[in-house]
Structure 1
């Protein structure tokens, strides 16, 4: 069975004809057996070929080895169904629901086949509990404040949450379809708008995919500048989340302090890119702006100051009994849940699971300047907050070390034509976790299919599991401790 798979590296393009085509039973056995051993399901999706048949592609990741394995199966257009693997492999549940929604083929035996982005019909209603004193609480999709739209349906017994069902899709914009239709210039703008707080993460994933498909090798200088912007984005969001957690538990000194630090990192992004969120900086072929020695010295001084301030406010925040009592043992996600459902990013690392694209499937400047992986073991809100603290420290250490030896090179190199009938998987560790972009080109060298997976796609299920058995009053705190994206999920 191993001979019928294709081994790839992150960002390595291959010809479509190289991708093995397995029979349905062999394909499903390969996926299930590999994931029960050491692999995990990085991506599983379908697309309609010119013949009308649906082809399913599965990417398996071997994190410890840094390898990706790829294979596929074909479903005849006259057979709009296939046997679901979710009963044996729960981490496939959302992928199969998406396949059913996008390709109009049904995974037979799927335990919970309901839309993930489209409005629900009478055939796919919400789960409902029954019994004395069981009541239902509906929250959203319109929320107080400025957060994005999402619907949360709780089944409760008194104040205890028995089940939470999350319905999203209210921000669906059809980005994957647009990526096939618009000009290359507009595609970059769309990539930066997948999730507004992850401009660099998705922009870098798109750019790397285009570079791979056109055999464009960017300069070390451009790779270093991309890493600077990506880590500043991580720092801004991590400090912002720590401030929001502080506000949720009423610890206002840290809320104000972390909030100010978030502004400092956004301001650094503004100095580097001309935009507080990093827009119009990363482009296929490199970057648009450089750092001179004066700017590097300024960044170094401001980062050293921010590092001291993060340490001071973190020591205050993580030592107060009133803070610890609200974070510890709240919203627990175990390592078994991470492996079973395929969670990624800080959510996985907070449960002790070492999953970080920068280390496992290294790319860009991270091939030469590595960031130690931050891990915690509790899997609770405290652990997720601690991961953010540790990653802030290590991102600043990484940048300070990088500034000592910034490589030389061109900022932007021309992009050649895309290779026809090729496929590439581009992975980036955004601040929420693993981002993947899959691009498939046709015989005319144009994009025939574009598949995006934001880490929130993996991790919304973690919130559902984390609040079971918790008090409903703890939900806002649990929700903020994951800090997931509605737009990134809805596309």
Structure 2
């Protein structure tokens, strides 16, 4: 299929479409984006890659989620014009991804109104592009401070600014929030992130493919299973290896336990942010019990390094399967009791209802995804829409609400906890016998693969590109927080400043997963 055909007629793509990879030209880049939008698709991730070390060129890559699967497109940039057309006019959430691509790889964007650096805070050497071939690490001079970020100013009588961060109290990661307010009412919020940029994507290129899963699992500590599974899925698809069925069932078991752990923690924190310390105490207790059993079953409280290329690192005994199933019964009873407390607490509901509302229309326009998207009527969950083994046999119940406020995001969490408990019991009952790991085999030649997993926060993508000698040429990990951080800026408009911690926690977006 030619680039022009692809940009005009998505229906000609093969079906089913787990992952389809293709190339487009300059015109096809923007035309395809419009066709995807018209067909109800959405941007998943956008990044750049430099292949000049292996005789190639710079290329911009984008992945789109379509009803039939994932489309991975690239635009190769020949000659001196290292620029691509702006996609943010079609998909607003692409704006920051494009700015990051410019900072990291040096691919500019034509027609983009916002060209401010995103990850380069003025501490990199002039012209530095960390992911370009031959780029050398260069620490900032001692005592040098980040450059001033040109925040958008709001003018008017009584308008003043409140700067929060980037250094916060406690152990929260750094991010700067600039509020423009009148009294306590928020007129505008603008974020600046990227303070924890760790060089993870560059580090991938220094690792062997069979070692990369350990780095992927550390992209965001609250999503270690999701990232490790996505990485292993990408590698296994690139090498055309298939893990044993029991391994995928155990991966799903861990993924659902990760989902429950995070929802329990957030439900407690949300109660606490609204003045109900009892909620924090009770949900923290449940989460601690939950993570202790995860450590006993899989060797780590966060199940770190339990998902490995070719399968899983350790199996579970029949006795442990019974323990996991029984714990689900205990947790379910207590969650029902605590949900009744939350629903009937007038003070709590007064803080939740109407706070931080994102209408379904706004959510669709801005590309809100994951649990926050489902709370605003966006019915998307990879476990349902593109079910892979074992989800294709588990009939996952899709949870959606249309309120789009803190109350709706809390309700999604409660429902998803209960559904994950059901799934864990079903997995424990139907866990197949057999091996839990194969020895992955690398084929000859270059290869690409993609891993696409519904983590607790939303869809996690890992796009992996391997060179002829099986070295990692590029590994791009994408967190759904990229889509959702900009929406938080809209959710706070019209609310009061003291409600921001509550609204922010109801999204609970990742700094670490965003600042690779």
Under a length normalisation based on structure 1, what TM-score does the superposition of the two structures give? 0.94
Consecutive unaligned residues of structure 1, counting only runs of 5 or more, are none
- Asked if 2 retains the 8 angstrom alpha-carbon contact of 1:10 and 1:363, the reply is no
Is residue 55 of structure 1 aligned with residue 93 of structure 2? no
- 1:68, CA displacement in angstroms? 2.1
Tell me by how many angstroms 1:469 deviates.
1.4
Q: CA deviation at 1:115?
A: 2.4
Shift of 1:339: 1.7
TM-score, length-scaled by structure 2: 0.90
- Once the two structures are overlaid, the 10-residue window that deviates more, 77-86 or 374-383, is 77-86
1:132 aligns with 2:161: no
2:477 is paired with a residue whose SS is: strand
What is the CA distance between 1:228 and its match in structure 2?
A: 0.9
Which residue number in structure 2 is paired with residue 43 of structure 1?
45
Q: Can you list the C-alpha shifts for 1:339-373, whole angstroms capped at 9, x where unaligned?
A: 22222110100001111111122223112213111
Note closer, same or farther for the CA distance 1:143–1:419 as it changes in structure 2 (3 Å cut).
Answer: farther
- Mapped contact 1:440–1:448 kept (Cα < 8 A): yes
1:348 is aligned to 2:409: no
Report deviation, 1:124.
5.5
Given candidates 168, 174, 188, the residue that maps to 1:143 is 168
Q: CA deviation at 1:100?
A: 1.6
Deviation at 1:21, TM superposition (A): 2.9
Between the aligned partners of 1:167 and 1:436, the Cα distance in structure 2 is: 23
Per the alignment, in what secondary structure is the counterpart of residue 487 of structure 1?
A: coil
The aligned residue for residue 95 of structure 1 is 97
Partners of 2:268 and 2:282 within 8 A in 1: yes
Structure 2 stretches lacking a partner, 5+ long? 123-145
Q: Which residue of 1 aligns with 2:136?
A: none
Matching residue of 1:222: 247
Alpha-carbon distance between aligned partners in 2 of 1:442 and 1:385, rounded to the nearest angstrom? 44
Residue in 1 aligned with 2:78?
Answer: 76
Structure 1, 118-127 or 227-236: larger mean CA deviation: 118-127
Deviations 1:383-440 (Å, cap 9, x if unpaired)?
0011000000000011112222211110111010155322222101111101000011
Displacement after TM superposition at 1:445 (Å): 2.3
Residue 11 of structure 1, CA deviation: 6.5
- Contact 2:449 2:465 (8 Å CA) reproduced: yes
Is 2:428 aligned against 1:424? Answer: no
2:417 aligned with 1:392 = yes
Query: Secondary structure of 1:425's partner?
Result: strand
CA contact (8 A) 1:53 1:77 kept: no
Within the alignment, does 1:333 sit opposite 2:362 as a pair?
A: no
The residue number in structure 1 matching 2:229 is 204
Rounded to whole Å, the distance in 2 between the matches of 1:340 and 1:157 is: 27
| DSSP-derived class of the 2:221 partner | coil
Aligned partner of residue 93 in structure 2, secondary structure: helix
Distance in 1 (CA, whole Å) between partners of 2:16 and 2:268 is 37
Task: Select which of 99, 113, 116 maps to 1:114.
Answer: 116
Shift of 1:10: 7.7
Distance 1:259 1:122, change over 3 A: closer
Report the counterpart of residue 287 of structure 2 in structure 1. Answer: 262
How far did 1:143 drift? 0.7
Maintained 8 Å contact 2:376/2:400: yes
1:215-268 superposed Cα distances (whole Å, 9 cap, x missing partner):
221111111111111111110100100000011111122221111111122112
Match of 1:172 in 2: 197
Secondary structure of 1:32's counterpart equals: helix
- Give the C-alpha shift of residue 186 in structure 1: 4.0
Rounded to whole Å, the distance in 2 between the matches of 1:421 and 1:184 is: 12
Native 8 Å contact 2:235 2:450 kept in 1: no
Deviates more, 1:178-187 or 1:402-411: 178-187
Residues 82 and 293 (structure 1), Cα distance of their counterparts in 2 relative to 1, 3 Å cut:
closer
Q: Which stretch shifts more, 360-369 or 74-83?
A: 74-83
2:339 aligns with 314
1:122-164 deviation per Cα after TM superposition (whole angstroms, max 9, x unaligned): 6951111122211111111111111111111111111111111
Distance 1:10 1:124, change over 3 A: farther
Hey, what does 2:438 align to over in structure 1? 413
Structure 1 pair 236–298 and aligned structure 2 pair: CA distance change class (3 A): same
| 4+ runs deviating over 4 angstroms | 1-12, 120-124
Compared CA separation, residues 352 and 308, structure 1 to 2 (3 A): same
